[in-house]
Amino acid sequence: MKTIGCIVQARMGSKRLPKKVLMKLNNKDSQLRFVIAQLQNCKLIEKIVVATTTLTEDDEIVEFLKKHNIECFRGSSSNVLKRYYQCAKNFSFDVIIRITADNPLIDPTIVDLAIKKFISNSFDYLTNTRKRTFPYGTEVEIFTFSALKKAYKNSTTPFELEHVTPYFYNNPEQFKIFDLVNSKDLSSFRWTVDEINDLNLVKILISKIQKRPILTNDILKILKDEPELIKINQ
């Protein structure tokens, strides 16, 4: 059996919204806690690990993870590809789901759909980020450990090292790649958190939706009923 692990990359040093990953989204949950809570509703993920950096500023993330009994790995701040490779190797993951901590409303049903598609077709790399049809904030990438190892051994540019997966789509002849697309184009919607207006929108959405996990359709219903909310982070 293949070990399916999710690695969430997180750091305190965001340029546009510093320390956003530990900012509160409601009375009790930080952004990072919300990401993990959403992912814990995935039926096909066996283990979730947060991969942060060895920088002192990220000690706060490590303390937070210890408090909540969440697995943590520390690696390079600039070479995120190396951090992913070392983390996946450390936890013996055969299949890696890549999620970023700026997506607190990641939809577990989309992640499970992606995993199912990936496993059943023996892909090397799957993404819903290249052919945009899903909302911003629901990004998922999946790759095998062997593909990750190849990318790690052969990537050279700073862009490849920082963004983890460019080696896959820049060398499509080496990998079996699949672009996951939605039946309806929802790419105009945005609930990722890059700036303060994004954070404000997500806080409002969370306050209006009581059920957990929060799914894409729950958010779309709110935005349909209250379309003025869309303008908050436009």
Contacts of 14 (CB under 8 A, 6+ apart): 20, 21, 102, 194
Rounded Cα distance between 200 and 180, Å, is: 29
pTM score over 0.85? yes
Q: Output the domain CATH number for residue 9.
A: 3.90.550.10
Answer yes or no: are the C-beta atoms of 215 and 109 closer than 8 Å: yes
Number of domains in the chain: 1
Q: Is the pLDDT of residue 211 over 90?
A: yes
pLDDT in tens, 140-152: 999 999 999 999 9
Q: Are 42 and 108 in contact (CB under 8 A)?
A: yes
Domain that holds residue 219: 4-233
Residue with token string 């799957």: 126
Q: Is the peptide bond before 108 cis (omega within 30 degrees of 0)?
A: no
pLDDT digits (tens, 9 = 90+) for 32-73: 999 999 999 999 999 999 999 999 999 999 999 999 999 999
pLDDT in tens, 154-210: 999 999 999 999 999 999 999 999 999 999 999 999 999 999 999 999 999 999 999
